[in-house]
Amino acid sequence: MKLTKAELKEYKNILLNLRARVSGDMTSLQDSAMSDQSLGAANSSIPSHIADAGSDAFDQDNTLRLIDNESVALNLIDDALERVKSGTFGFCTNCNAKIGKMRIQVLPYTPYCIKCANELES
């Protein structure tokens, strides 16, 4: 059974938020030699209070910490957004099993169900 439109929309927002933060982090690294003023202007579209917005933001911080390589993360997030568009988001790209809701909430960009992830990692 596919995810509902409301669920897809919710995950799309989570993914877009993650993507903005990952790419924002990359930008701030690249811009670190520049003045704080230009950095503040570049980030003005992202509310600074978002990190304190609640447990969702906290979970996303933890999610981002699991990602070593930001460009890999962006690829995973973009792939996940494509799956949202095509309506296949929430299903394992390896075995087509439905990915558990808990797993999607922790790793919204994951292409694999827990079983395949364990098999592919081992």
CA distance 18 to 5: 20
Does residue 107 touch Zn ion according to CB under 5 A? no
The sign one gets for the Cα dihedral 91, 97, 98, 102 is negative
Q: Is 22 helix (H, G, I), strand (E, B) or coil?
A: helix
Stretches 17-25, 28-36, 68-76, 107-115: which one binds Zn ion (CB under 5 A)?
107-115
Kindly give the interhelix angle for 5-30 and 55-65, rounded to the nearest 10 degrees.
Answer: 60
Q: Report CA-CA distances (Å) from 62 to 25, 76, 121.
A: 15, 16, 20
Does residue 99 touch Zn ion according to CB under 5 A? no
Does residue 95 touch Zn ion according to CB under 5 A? yes
Binding mask 51-90 for Zn ion (x = CB under 5 A): ----------------------------------------
Nearer to Zn ion, 12 or 103 (CB): 103
- Exactly one of 14, 15, 76, 113 binds Zn ion (CB under 5 A); that residue is 113
> Under the rule (CB under 5 A), what is the footprint of Zn ion?
92, 94-95, 97, 113, 116
